[in-house]
Amino acid sequence: MVSNMPEVNAEFGATPAIAFPTDKPPVGLKSIEIVEGDGPMVRRGDTVTVNYHGVVWGKDTPFDSSFERHQPASFGIGVGQVIRGWDMTVPGHNVGSRLVVSIPPSYGYGAQGVPQAGIGGEDTLVFVIDIISTR
């Protein structure tokens, strides 16, 4: 188990509830699978459909959440269509899995952040990702 990771409800499909154990995020890119799916494995180059909930470490309000929109997102994984932290952590997990990923700026939006979304250049991002399908 990766230490210092947020606690998240382990119910696939449920809107994530995130509790942060400390003010300081873990160092580097970290990922834990809190629900192991039994569907097909996601591979680099696949088109994956997910529900996700993204927050800045320590914050309650998401900067983006397909759960809140009730609209899953689909994109190529492992091919540079999303931030590097996603490309490096989602492949290798099965459909039906719920992941918690802690992404430092170097694997997210870099030193520039995304100010309009409330993401600073030094912010660590946390995503809860439910893998719905892959093809």
Answering whether pTM is above 0.85, one says yes
Output the pLDDT for position 2: 66
Output the pLDDT for position 1: 53
Smallest CA-to-CA distance from 22 within 3, 36, 50, 48 is with 3
Structurally, how many domains does the chain consist of?
1
Below-70 pLDDT ranges, the chain:
1-2
Residue 84 is assigned to a structural domain of this protein: yes
Residue 2 is assigned to a structural domain of this protein: no
Smallest CA-to-CA distance from 14 within 34, 32, 31 is with 34
CA distance 124 to 110: 10
Sign of the CA dihedral with 71 first, then 76, 81, and 83 last: positive
Please count the other Cβ atoms lying within 10 Å of the Cβ belonging to residue 62.
Answer: 22
Tell me if residue 105 falls in helix, strand or coil: helix
Q: What is the CATH number of the domain that holds 38?
A: 3.10.50.40
